[in-house]
Amino acid sequence: MRILDIKKCTIADGPGIRLSIYCSGCDLHCKGCHNQEAWDFNQGTDYKELLDEIISELEKSYYKGITFCGGEPLNPKNVDGFLEIAKLIKEKLPTKDIWCYTGYEWEDVKDLEIMKYIDVAVVGPFILKERDITSKNKWRGSKNQRVIDVRMSLAFNTKLYLAGIPNNGDFVPFLVYSDYFPNGMTDEEFIEKFLENKKNNG
Ligand code: SF4
């Protein structure tokens, strides 16, 4: 895995002050991708040369956590490198949380070994017609993308997962059936439907 960029002290890729790692390479090629310069897998620096820098930067007390993005962190060419980084962070800096952006859907990545070390995953491809960069859709580029509480979701069976609805900067987990996510449903519609269903079914 090669790293294209390391952004220090960013507040754009999850809650709090974060260290963001941008890997090289993505073959999903979403129409309207804001980061097409990251599609090539051969750019940047081998991650092994940057491990010490990542750890020594992240251990600074003002960092809440680290975010993996790109490019596509969970592409088979990249995932092993991020797995090594994630293991190292959980071993050396266990209070720091790990967020991971991916263009894959939750069902396609939930069983990857790396998920045992990820706290929150922002999943789903960028879909141009669903584009929403307002604060209502915080931390995502399009409305189809979901913020998943990975740790809690993995505690349930495959029919259930927890989607966080970012609200004023807070991450609020919801227990849902994946059937509740028909294409195009907004978070507001989803929450309304979820609460209505919960009320009716107890
Ligand atoms: S998954 Fe992300 S980096 Fe890859 S094409 Fe889609 S928006 Fe771009």
- 157-171 pLDDT per residue, tens: 444 455 655 444 445
pLDDT for residue 148: 83
Give the residue whose CA is nearest to atom 2 of ligand 1. 103
Model confidence at 151: pLDDT above 80: no
- Ligand 1: atom nearest CA of 38 is 3
Report CA 65 to chain centroid distance, whole Å: 12
Residue 109 Cα to ligand 1 midpoint, Å, equals 15
Structure token digits, residue 114: 């790396």
Q: Map tokens 């209070």 to a residue.
A: 95
- Whether the CA torsion 72, 139, 124, 36 is positive or negative: it is negative
Residue nearest to atom 5 of ligand 1 (CA): 29
Statement: residue 177 has pLDDT above 80: no
Within the chain, strands assigned E span 2-10, 18-23, 45-46, 65-69, 97-101, 120-123, 146-149, 160-164, 173-177
Q: What is the pTM of this model?
A: 0.82
Ligand 1 binding site (Cβ under 6 Å of any ligand atom): 26, 28-30, 33, 35, 38, 70-72, 103, 125-126
